[in-house]
Chains A and B, each alone.
Chain A
Amino acid sequence: MTDTRRVDAYEKVTGQAAYGTDRVPEGVAYATLALARIGRGRVSRVDTAAAEAVPGVLLAVTRFDAEELGGAGFIMGGGFAFQSLQPLVDDHIAYRGQPIALIVAETLVAATEAAELVTAEYETEPFAVHLDAEGATTLVQEEAIPLPFLADIKVGDADAAVDASPVRIDSTYEYAAQHAVPMELNGAVVEWHGETLVVHEGTQNAAAVRFGLAQQLGIDAANIEVRSPYVGGGFGQKNSLQPHLGPLALVARRLGRPVKLVLARTQTFHNGSFRPATRHRVRLGADETGKIFAAVHEVDQQTSRHDLFPAMHTEITSRLYGFPAFRGRHRLVQTDVQTPGYMRAPFESSATFAFESAVDELAYATGQDPVALRLANDTMTDPVTGRPFSTRFLAECLRRGAEEFGWAARNPEPRSMRADDGSFVGWGVAAGNYPGSIVPAVAHLTAGADGCVTVGVDGHEMGQGIRSAIALLVSGDLGIPTSDVEVRVGDTRFAAQHLTAGSWGTASALPAVHAGLRELRKHLNAADTGEVDVAAAVQRAGHPVEAEVSTLGPGQPPEALDQAKAGHLAISGPVFPEFSTFSWVAHFVEVRVEPTTCRIRVPRVVSVVDCGRVASPVTAASQVRGGVVWGIGGALREESLADDRFGGFLNATLEEYPIMVNADVHRIDVAFVDEPDLLFNPVGVKGLGEVAMVGVAAAVANAVHHATGKRHHRLPIRLDDVL
C-alpha cells in the first residue's frame, strides 16, 4: 500500500526543518526597524543619536541613496515587489507603520532597544483608511488599468434582464480588511559570499526576490541565490519581494557580515500585504422557480494610494451558474495604506460571501431549497466564453455534500431547529469556485546509483504539501518508495522558482515532473510505464542519469517560459483556447447560536471538492480543513480595524486580531470527487488550496440566517450582531 504521509512531517514536528530565519550564520548581525507614527505626511527629521549610543549598535540608516537602492516595482505592474513603495529612500510617509530607520546591532536585544529610541519629527497630511472616508479616491478599474483581463465582464444586457425578472434580489455586502498572520514572521537572513548574495527567506516567489533584488541593487541576477525550502505559511503575503530585503542586503555588504531581520508580529500588519476591504452589490433576476435570468455583481475594493491592486471578483461569480446575462464591475478605492494583496482566496472569499448570500436570499424569496436551486442553475458551459468547462463537478459536490451532511432533514424555516440545550441550529450551504491556472515550470530529475531520484522543480512548499505530491507522483511512476525521492523546491539553484500561488503550484509542477519522468525513463533505457529498478539502470549507465524538461499551460506561448525565467509572472488560464478550467466546491455548515448569550459555534462542516485528481490525499484533506477553519474565522472572527484619527491598522497583535483557536474548531469532514481533468494537464490535477476556502464564509452566514432569521450583510458576524 502506498505511503501517502506528508514526506516532510517528521522534519517539521521535530524542528529539523530549517525555515528562512532559523539560520544563524557565523558573525550574523541583527536588524530591526523603527516605524512612522503618523497616518501620512513627511518625516522632516529622524534622530538616531540615542539609538547609535546603545552599546552594540553597528549601524542606523534612515536613507539609502537612489543609486544604491532602486525601486523594484509593483508585482502587478510588471515589477517584483508587493508594492512599488520602497521605504527609506525619501521623506514621504504613505501610511502609519512605514519604516523610517533600519538599525543593525551585535544582538537582537541591542537592535530592539535602539529602534525604540529612534525619534522623528513629521509634517502630517490628511489621510483616509476606510472605503467611505473623506479623501478616499474611487476609480473605475477598467479605465484606470486598461488591460483586457481586467475589463468588466459583460454577457448580454444583464441590467435589463434583472429589471424584467419577476423575482429580484438586490443586496449589498461588506467584507472587512483582514491580515493573513502566517505563523512564520516575515524576515530574512542575507549573506554575501564574495560577489554572490545568498538570501534565506520564507517566500512563495524566490524568482521575484532574486530578480527584484538584482534590479534594486544593480547587480546581475546570476549573482543572487534565494533559498526557501520551507515557508511557514505564505497565504499570499509572501508572494513577492518584501521592502526590507534590499536595505538588508545593503547593510550586510556595508558591514561585511550576514544580517538577519525578523519583523515583530505587530510590524507585519503594516509591512506586508493584506486582504483589502470590499463592498459588493449583487442583483439577481429569476423566475418564481429560482431559475436565474441575470446577475449583476459590482465591487468596490480598497487599494493603496501608490498602487492599483487589481480586483478580479467577478471572474468566478460569473461562472458559478448558467447565467444567460451577467455584468460585473470593479472600482478601486485608493486609501492611505500599504498596498493590499492576495490573501488566500483573495477575491473569491468575499465575492462568494456576497454572491452566495444573495443566492440564499433568492432561495428564500422563491421558496426553493438552497441545494435544489443551485442544481437547477448548474451549467457545463462557461457563460462568459460560451465554451465548455474542462471539468465541472459542482453538482456532484452539492449532491454528495447534501447526502453526507443529512441536508434532507433540514426544516427551511428560520429559527425552527433547536438543540437540546436550547441553542438555535442553522444549516447553510454555499458553492465556490476558483480559476484553474498553470505557469511554466522546469523540472530537473537526477537518478543516482543508490536508486534515489532527486527532483528540482519550480514550486514552493508552504505547508500545502507540494513536496509530498511530487514525491508521490515519482514514487508511483517508478515504483520506488517516497523516501527514495528528494524534492528540491523554493531554491533558485534548481529552477527559476516562479511564484507559487493562485492554486497553480501542484498543477504546474506535477505536469513538469510527469514529463521529466518520461524523459528520465528514456535515459535510463526503461520502458514507458511500469516499475523501474533505478539503481540497476544507473549502474548500467555508469553515471547518474539526468533529465530536464519544461512545460507550459495549455496553449501558452513558449515566450512565457523566458518571462518566468526572468522572474516575471507568466500565468495562463482559466480561459484556454478550447475550454475554461475552474475548481469547484460545496460547503455545508451547521452553526449553533446559544439562546441567551448568543455565542455562535460551528460544530460540523462537510466540504466536497472537485480539484481534479487528488495528488496527495493526506495533505489535500489537511489543506481543505485549513481553508474551512480560515473561512469560519473570516465569517465570525477576523477584522483588521483602522482608526480614522491615527491611520494604519489598530488591532495589530495576535491578541487583538482574533484568528481561530483550536477550541473553535470542531468536526470537518472532507471529501473529493477525484475525477482527473486531463484537458487541463496530463496529470489531471486542478487547484485546491484556494477553492477550499471559497464559499465557507457564505455557508456560515447562510447557516446563521437559518438559525436566527437574520440576514447578515457584513462580516465578521459577532455577538454584537446576533444578540
Chain B
Amino acid sequence: MRPFAYLAPTSLADAVDALRDAAPGTKVLAGGTTLYDLMKLGIETPPAVVDVHRLPELNTIETRDDELVFGAGARMADVADHPVVRDAYPALSESLWRAASQQLRNMASVGGNLLQRTRCGYFRGGAEFPCNKREPGSGCAALGGHDRTHALLGAGDACIATYPGDWAVALLAFDAVVDVVGPRGERTVPLAELHVEPGDDPTREHTLDPGELILRIRVPATPAGRGSTYLKIRDRESYAFALASAAVAMTVEDGVIGDCRIALGGVATRPWRAEDAERTLRGAPLTPEAARHAGEVAFAGARPGTYNGFRVELGIRTVADAVRIAAERATR
C-alpha cells in the first residue's frame, strides 16, 4: 500500500467539488470493501481518496409507486433487507443477500458495488502475471491458463476477466438507471450502458468520466418484480462468486408468459442481458422445454476456454431453473 491523501467532505456539494479539484486518479471511497483491498494489492494506487461513505444525502432508500430509488451510499445489507424490496422485487434482494458476507454487506454501498472490479486471479495475483487490465500491453495470463471462472461471453483476445457482481445483474434485468454527478453537472446513465466489454482496452470497465460520482440507482416499478429471482450457483454455499447466475423477472397470465427479463452473472465480462432468450419466452406457454431453450439461446454465443466449458451447460440449467422459480412466484 502506498501513501495517499484522504479527503472526507461533509456534504455532497463538497464531495463533488473535491472530486473536481482532485489530482488525476483520485478515487471515490464508499464502503472500501473493494478499493482498500485493491490498494493493499498494489493494483489501485490513487493519490487521494474522497470518502463519501458518511454523506447522509447518499444513504437513502425510497420506494415510490413509479420507481425504487436507492442512494448510492445505501448499504447492501439495508437494501437487501428492505421489506418492499424483499416482497416486490425478490431478485434484487436475493442478489444482495447472496453476495459476500454479512460483515461486507454491512459496509459495502450499492453504488460502489456496481463498479466492483474483476476477481481474476492473474489480475490480482501480482506483477509476475501478464495482465492487460493491470499493465496494458503485457498480455493475458488467463488465456490458456486456469480459466475455470473466466468469462464465456463478451470476452476478447485482450481479456477474459469476469465481471463478478450480482447486484448489477439483477438491476440490469429491471432496466435500472444510474444518476451521476460530475464536473459538468448531472446526467443519467442506463445501467445497460454503464459497463463495457474489454475490447482492446480492458483498463476501461465503465463509462463514467473521471470525477463523476454515482448519486442514486433508480429502478422503474414493474409487476414483473414479484415474479423474479436471482439464482446464484457457486462452489460453496456462501462467500463465493458466481460460477453462473441468472436474474429472471416475468409476469404470467393463464400459463402464458407476458413480460420477461433475463440477465446473466458470473459468466460474462459485464452484466449480461439475454434479450434473445427473453424473446423466446414472451407470449409463450411456460414449459420445461421452453425454459431450457431460453437458456440455450442465452448461451448461444458462449466461447469456452480450457476449463470453463462446463459453465455453458451450468449456465443453461441455471437460466432454466431461474425461469421456473420466477414463474412460480409470478403465478402465486
Q: What is the CA–CA distance of A596 and B236 in the complex, to the nearest angstrom?
A: 16
Closest to B37 in A: A655
Closest to B313 in A: A723
Residue from B125, B238, B318 having most chain A Cβ neighbours under 10 A? B125
- Contact assessment for B314 and A597 in the assembled complex, using a CB-CB cutoff below 8 Å: yes
A686-723 Cβ-contact flags toward B at 8 Å (1 or 0)? 00000000000000000000000000000000111001
List the one stretch of A72-80, A455-463, A604-612, A657-665 in contact with chain B.
A657-665
- Contact assessment for B238 and A719 in the assembled complex, using a CB-CB cutoff below 8 Å: no
B-side contacts of A669, CB under 8 Å: none
- Contact assessment for A113 and B238 in the assembled complex, using a CB-CB cutoff below 8 Å: no
- Contact assessment for A38 and B235 in the assembled complex, using a CB-CB cutoff below 8 Å: no
Is there a chain B Cβ closer than 8 Å to A407's Cβ?
no
Tell me whether A656 and B121 are in contact in the complex, defined as CB-CB below 8 angstroms, given that A661-B239, A719-B235, A723-B310 are known contacts.
yes
Binding site for A on B (CB under 8 A): 1-3, 42, 119, 121, 124-129, 141, 144-146, 148, 233, 235-240, 243, 307, 310, 313-314, 317-318, 320-321
Closest to A716 in B: B235
A-side contacts of B3, CB under 8 Å: 113
Tell me whether A112 and B1 are in contact in the complex, defined as CB-CB below 8 angstroms, given that A96-B128, A597-B321, A656-B121 are known contacts.
yes
- Contact assessment for B2 and A663 in the assembled complex, using a CB-CB cutoff below 8 Å: no
* Contact residues on A (Cβ < 8 Å of other chain), bracket: 20 to 34
A610-652 Cβ-contact flags toward B at 8 Å (1 or 0)? 0000000000000000000000000001000101011000111
- Contact assessment for A116 and B235 in the assembled complex, using a CB-CB cutoff below 8 Å: no
Tell me whether A720 and B148 are in contact in the complex, defined as CB-CB below 8 angstroms, given that A113-B1, A646-B128 are known contacts.
yes
- Contact assessment for B145 and A720 in the assembled complex, using a CB-CB cutoff below 8 Å: no
- Contact assessment for A658 and B42 in the assembled complex, using a CB-CB cutoff below 8 Å: no
What are 28 A-B interface contacts by the 8 Å CB criterion? A37-B126, A37-B128, A96-B128, A109-B1, A112-B1, A113-B2, A116-B1, A116-B2, A116-B42, A596-B321, A597-B233, A597-B314, A597-B317, A597-B318, A643-B141, A643-B145, A643-B146, A650-B146, A651-B146, A653-B121, A658-B235, A658-B240, A661-B237, A661-B238, A663-B239, A719-B314, A723-B314, A723-B317
B-side contacts of A597, CB under 8 Å: 233, 314, 317-318, 321
B-side contacts of A661, CB under 8 Å: 236-239
Q: What is the CA–CA distance of A641 and B1 in the complex, to the nearest angstrom?
A: 26
Q: B1, B119, B145, B240: which contacts A645 (Cβ < 8 A)?
A: B145
Closest to B307 in A: A720
B-side contacts of A660, CB under 8 Å: 236
Q: How far is the CB of B21 from chain A (nearest CB, A)?
A: 26
Q: A597-B317, A637-B236, A643-B146 are in contact. List 16 more A-B contacts (CB 8 A).
A: A112-B1, A596-B320, A597-B314, A597-B318, A637-B235, A641-B146, A645-B141, A650-B125, A653-B124, A658-B240, A661-B238, A663-B238, A718-B235, A719-B310, A720-B307, A723-B313
Closest to B292 in A: A596
Q: How far is the CB of B305 from chain A (nearest CB, A)?
A: 13
Q: How far is the CB of B33 from chain A (nearest CB, A)?
A: 12
Binding site for B on A (CB under 8 A): 37-38, 96, 109, 112-113, 116, 596-599, 601, 637, 641, 643, 645-646, 650-653, 655-656, 658, 660-664, 718-720, 723
Residue from A641, A646, A653 having most chain B Cβ neighbours under 10 A? A646
Chain A interface secondary structure, helix, strand, loop or mixed? loop
Q: What is the CA–CA distance of A116 and B45 in the complex, to the nearest angstrom?
A: 12
- Contact assessment for A664 and B321 in the assembled complex, using a CB-CB cutoff below 8 Å: no
B-side contacts of A651, CB under 8 Å: 121, 146
Q: How far is the CB of A109 from chain B (nearest CB, A)?
A: 7
- Contact assessment for B233 and A599 in the assembled complex, using a CB-CB cutoff below 8 Å: yes
A-side contacts of B235, CB under 8 Å: 637, 658, 718-719
Q: What is the CA–CA distance of A655 and B124 in the complex, to the nearest angstrom?
A: 11
Chain B interface secondary structure, helix, strand, loop or mixed? loop
B-side contacts of A653, CB under 8 Å: 121, 124
A-side contacts of B128, CB under 8 Å: 37-38, 96, 646
Q: What is the CA–CA distance of A651 and B145 in the complex, to the nearest angstrom?
A: 12
Q: What is the CA–CA distance of A703 and B3 in the complex, to the nearest angstrom?
A: 53
Q: How far is the CB of B168 from chain A (nearest CB, A)?
A: 19
Q: What is the CA–CA distance of A601 and B284 in the complex, to the nearest angstrom?
A: 34
Q: What is the number of contacts between chain A and chain B, taking CB atoms within 8 Å?
A: 76
- Contact assessment for B236 and A664 in the assembled complex, using a CB-CB cutoff below 8 Å: yes
B-side contacts of A655, CB under 8 Å: 119
Q: How far is the CB of A654 from chain B (nearest CB, A)?
A: 9
A-side contacts of B321, CB under 8 Å: 596-597
Tell me whether A650 and B121 are in contact in the complex, defined as CB-CB below 8 angstroms, given that A112-B1, A641-B146 are known contacts.
yes
Q: How far is the CB of A424 from chain B (nearest CB, A)?
A: 15
Closest to B126 in A: A37
Closest to B315 in A: A597
Q: How far is the CB of B225 from chain A (nearest CB, A)?
A: 24
Q: What is the CA–CA distance of A559 and B42 in the complex, to the nearest angstrom?
A: 54
Closest to A665 in B: B237
- Contact assessment for B237 and A663 in the assembled complex, using a CB-CB cutoff below 8 Å: yes
Q: What is the CA–CA distance of A662 and B101 in the complex, to the nearest angstrom?
A: 11
- Contact assessment for A719 and B243 in the assembled complex, using a CB-CB cutoff below 8 Å: yes
- Contact assessment for A664 and B2 in the assembled complex, using a CB-CB cutoff below 8 Å: no
Closest to A36 in B: B128
B-side contacts of A650, CB under 8 Å: 121, 125, 146
Q: How far is the CB of B316 from chain A (nearest CB, A)?
A: 10
B-side contacts of A109, CB under 8 Å: 1
- Contact assessment for B127 and A37 in the assembled complex, using a CB-CB cutoff below 8 Å: yes
Q: B126, B145, B236: which contacts A658 (Cβ < 8 A)?
A: B236
Q: What is the CA–CA distance of A477 and B220 in the complex, to the nearest angstrom?
A: 73
Q: What is the CA–CA distance of A646 and B3 in the complex, to the nearest angstrom?
A: 30
Q: What is the CA–CA distance of A112 and B40 in the complex, to the nearest angstrom?
A: 9
Q: What is the CA–CA distance of A645 and B318 in the complex, to the nearest angstrom?
A: 33
Closest to B310 in A: A720
A-side contacts of B236, CB under 8 Å: 637, 658, 660-661, 663-664
A-side contacts of B42, CB under 8 Å: 116
Tell me whether A646 and B129 are in contact in the complex, defined as CB-CB below 8 angstroms, given that A641-B146, A651-B121, A719-B233 are known contacts.
yes
Q: How far is the CB of A178 from chain B (nearest CB, A)?
A: 15
A-side contacts of B121, CB under 8 Å: 650-651, 653, 656
Q: What is the CA–CA distance of A596 and B321 in the complex, to the nearest angstrom?
A: 8
Q: How far is the CB of A50 from chain B (nearest CB, A)?
A: 11
Q: What is the CA–CA distance of A181 and B124 in the complex, to the nearest angstrom?
A: 19
Shortest 3 CB-CB contacts between residues of A and residues of B: A663-B237, A37-B128, A663-B238
Q: A646, A662, A718, A719: which contacts B141 (Cβ < 8 A)?
A: A646
Q: How far is the CB of A172 from chain B (nearest CB, A)?
A: 21
Q: How far is the CB of B322 from chain A (nearest CB, A)?
A: 10
Q: What is the CA–CA distance of A116 and B43 in the complex, to the nearest angstrom?
A: 11
A-side contacts of B127, CB under 8 Å: 37
Tell me whether A596 and B317 are in contact in the complex, defined as CB-CB below 8 angstroms, given that A37-B126, A109-B1, A113-B3 are known contacts.
yes
Q: How far is the CB of B324 from chain A (nearest CB, A)?
A: 9
Closest to A660 in B: B236
B-side contacts of A112, CB under 8 Å: 1
Q: What is the CA–CA distance of A113 and B243 in the complex, to the nearest angstrom?
A: 34
Q: How far is the CB of A121 from chain B (nearest CB, A)?
A: 13
Q: How far is the CB of A30 from chain B (nearest CB, A)?
A: 13
Q: How far is the CB of A603 from chain B (nearest CB, A)?
A: 12
Q: What is the CA–CA distance of A395 and B98 in the complex, to the nearest angstrom?
A: 44
B-side contacts of A656, CB under 8 Å: 119, 121
Q: What is the CA–CA distance of A641 and B129 in the complex, to the nearest angstrom?
A: 15
Q: What is the CA–CA distance of A142 and B238 in the complex, to the nearest angstrom?
A: 45
Q: What is the CA–CA distance of A601 and B125 in the complex, to the nearest angstrom?
A: 30
Q: What is the CA–CA distance of A109 and B128 in the complex, to the nearest angstrom?
A: 23
Q: What is the CA–CA distance of A652 and B124 in the complex, to the nearest angstrom?
A: 10
Q: What is the CA–CA distance of A661 and B126 in the complex, to the nearest angstrom?
A: 26
Q: What is the CA–CA distance of A552 and B4 in the complex, to the nearest angstrom?
A: 60
Residue from B1, B2, B237, B320 having most chain A Cβ neighbours under 10 A? B237
A-side contacts of B320, CB under 8 Å: 596
Q: What is the CA–CA distance of A645 and B143 in the complex, to the nearest angstrom?
A: 12
Q: What is the CA–CA distance of A436 and B238 in the complex, to the nearest angstrom?
A: 37
A-side contacts of B307, CB under 8 Å: 720
A-side contacts of B146, CB under 8 Å: 641, 643, 650-651
Closest to A651 in B: B121
Q: What is the CA–CA distance of A597 and B146 in the complex, to the nearest angstrom?
A: 22
